[in-house]
Amino acid sequence: MSIGEGVQARLAYKKYASGVIIENELADSDADLGATGAQVLRRLQSTLDLKSTFNPSQEVREDQQVVDSRKGSNWVEGSISGEWSPETYADLFEASFRGTWAASVTGSETDFTSVTLNSAGTITFAAGDPVAKGFRVGYPVQFANLATAGNNGVNFTILAFGGTSNRTLTVFPAPITETADTAFTVTQKGKSLILPSRQADNVNRKFGFEHYHPDVSGGLYKLFTECRVGGFKLNMPAEGNCTIEHMVRGRFMETGTGGPFFTDPDPETDTGIFNSVNGLLRVHGSAAAVVTGITLNMDRKLTGTACQGQNFFPAIHVQKAEVGGQITMQLTGGTTFDDFKNETEIDLLSQLVTGSASNADSNIIYCPRIKLGSAINPLQGEAAQIVTADFTALKYVGSGAGIPQTTIQICDTTL
C-alpha cells in the first residue's frame, strides 16, 4: 500500500452548466457535472474537506457513560490558496463577485479624431468622450499604429479623467511625448469585473473540485460537489510573491478509485506570478513608496442550514460582499492619522505585473472609496516606525468621471 504524496496530487475544477441548487436532492455528478472539460488549478494547498455534525447522547445513565452518538448534516468547507497569477483564478473571482467579466472597450481616430501623448503622464484626445465610450479608471489600455513606436503595445493604466468631455487621461507609466496622431487604435487590454448593481445581474455559480491522488490505491479521487465560492484573501507583501486564497462551501464529497473523476482536464495556466516590487500602488490619489504590505479581502459568509429528512443542506447561501483589508506603511507624516480621524474617503489602486516589460501581464485592483478604521503606530525599536491601518471598502456612489459604481473592480489583461 502506497502513501499519498502532496507533489503527486492534482487539484482540478469544473463549473456546472447551471448554478441552481435543488433543495431536496443532490446533483448527479455524471449527468450534471460531467467528467470532461475540467481545468487543473495551480495551488499551494486546498483545505476542502467533508464536515459533519455529531450529536452524542445527553442521557444521564446509571453507568455514567455515553452509549450512542448520531451523525448530523454533511457539508464541504475549506479554501483553495495559491501564488497569485493572472487568468488562473478568473473563474473563482467571477463566482465571488457574482458578476461577469466584461468584454474590452476599443476606440480609434473615428471616435476621438486624434491623440496627443505627453511624458508628464497624460494622453489627450481631440474629440469624443472616452468615458461615454466605456473606458474607466483602473483600465489598462494599449495603443497600436501610433507614429512613435515606443508608445505602441504599452499597458497604460488609467488613473483619472479630466478636461473637456473627459478627453485628458492621466496614466501610468508616462508615455513618450508625441504630437497629435490621427491614425491609431486604443484598446482596453483584457476584461474587467465589478460587483453588480442590480439583483437581476447577480449570477449564481457552482463548481466541482477534485483532489486526485494517482499514487493511492491505483488512483483515489475525492470530488467535492455543488460548491459555491464566497470571497477571497489577497496578500501583497513588500517583498515576496503575492498570494491568494478563495473560500469555498459545498454540499457533499464523492470518492472513487481506479482513476480520476475528471478525465483529461486542461493543463494548468502558464502565466507568471505577481510580485509587489513591480507595478504601481496608489493610495489617496498618489503613488505610495513606503507601503510595506497590503491585504485585501472579500467575505460573503457562505452558510448552510440543516433541515429534517435529509443529511445535506438544502442550499448554500451567499451573503453581501464585505470588502476590506489592511495597509502597513512606514511613518512619514500625519496624513494617515488625519484620514482616520476625519473619516476621509480615499481610493486604493494596485497594479500587479508579472515582470518589468511594458506589456507584462497584470491584474489591477481598484477600490474607489475606502475608509480607514484604525491608524496604529506604537513606538517601538530603533528601525523605521510602522503605521498599520485597517480599512473598509464601500460602494462608490459619486459622479467622478469614469469611476465605476462598485466597491471593487478587477481588470485582468490576459482574459
In a domain, 61, yes or no: no
In this prediction, residue 146 carries a pLDDT of 96
Report residue 28's pLDDT band, with 50, 70 and 90 as the boundaries.
very high
In this prediction, residue 289 carries a pLDDT of 59
Helices in 284-406 by DSSP H: which ranges? 335-341
In a domain, 368, yes or no: yes
Domain boundary among 147, 172, 189: 189
> Does residue 232 contact residue 96 with C-beta atoms inside 8 Å?
yes
Is the model more confident about 308 or about 96? 96
Residues 93 and 165 both lie in one domain: no
Report residue 373's pLDDT band, with 50, 70 and 90 as the boundaries.
very high
Non-local CB neighbours of 53 within 8 Å, separated by 6+ positions? 71, 72, 73, 306
Residues 205 and 236 both lie in one domain: yes
- Which amino acid would we find at residue 229? V
Residues 117 and 78 both lie in one domain: no
Distance CA 367, CA 364 (A): 10
Of the given ranges (36-50, 183-197, 259-273, 345-359), which has the lowest mean pLDDT? 345-359
In this prediction, residue 334 carries a pLDDT of 80
In a domain, 63, yes or no: no
Mean of pLDDT over the chain: 92
> Does residue 137 contact residue 160 with C-beta atoms inside 8 Å?
yes
Report residue 71's pLDDT band, with 50, 70 and 90 as the boundaries.
confident
> Does residue 51 contact residue 227 with C-beta atoms inside 8 Å?
no
Residues 279 and 335 both lie in one domain: yes
In a domain, 185, yes or no: yes
Residues 221 and 263 both lie in one domain: yes
Domain boundary among 159, 189, 219: 189
Report residue 155's pLDDT band, with 50, 70 and 90 as the boundaries.
very high
> Does residue 98 contact residue 202 with C-beta atoms inside 8 Å?
yes
Q: Which H/E stretch holds residue 90?
A: helix 90-97
In a domain, 64, yes or no: no
Residues 84 and 224 both lie in one domain: yes
Distance CA 226, CA 36 (A): 16
DSSP state of 112: H
Non-local CB neighbours of 144 within 8 Å, separated by 6+ positions? 152, 153, 184, 185, 187
Residues 48 and 166 both lie in one domain: no
In a domain, 230, yes or no: yes
What are the φ and ψ backbone dihedral angles of 340, each rounded to 5 degrees? -70, -50
**Residue-wise DSSP of 30-76:** IIII-SSS-EE---SEE--EEEEEEEE-----TT-----EEEEEEEE
Whether residue 286 is predicted with pLDDT greater than 90 in this model: the reply is no
Distance CA 373, CA 379 (A): 20
Residues 358 and 402 both lie in one domain: yes
Residues 39 and 114 both lie in one domain: no
Distance CA 327, CA 343 (A): 16
- Classify 29 as helix, strand or coil: helix
Residues 219 and 179 both lie in one domain: no
**Residue-wise DSSP of 222-246:** EEEEEEEEEEEEEEEESSSB-EEEE
- pLDDT (average), residues 123-142: 97
Residues 174 and 242 both lie in one domain: no
In this prediction, residue 287 carries a pLDDT of 67
- pLDDT (average), residues 331-337: 80
Domain boundary among 189, 223, 253: 189
In this prediction, residue 310 carries a pLDDT of 86
Report the 10 Å Cβ neighbour count for 217: 13
Joined together, the cell numbers standing for residue 401 give 468621471
Q: Percentage of residues in the chain with pLDDT exceeding 70?
A: 97
Is the model more confident about 13 or about 303? 13
Q: What is the 3-state secondary structure of 149-176? A: HHHECCCEEEEEEECHHHCEEEEECCCC
Report residue 267's pLDDT band, with 50, 70 and 90 as the boundaries.
very high
Is the model more confident about 53 or about 260? 260
Residues 274 and 306 both lie in one domain: yes
In a domain, 4, yes or no: no
Closest listed residue to residue 252, CA positions, set 291, 226, 279: 226
Report residue 363's pLDDT band, with 50, 70 and 90 as the boundaries.
very high
Q: Report pTM.
A: 0.92
Which residue is it, cell 467579466? 101
Domain that holds residue 158: 106-189
Task: State how many domains the chain has.
Answer: 2
In this prediction, residue 72 carries a pLDDT of 82
In a domain, 59, yes or no: no
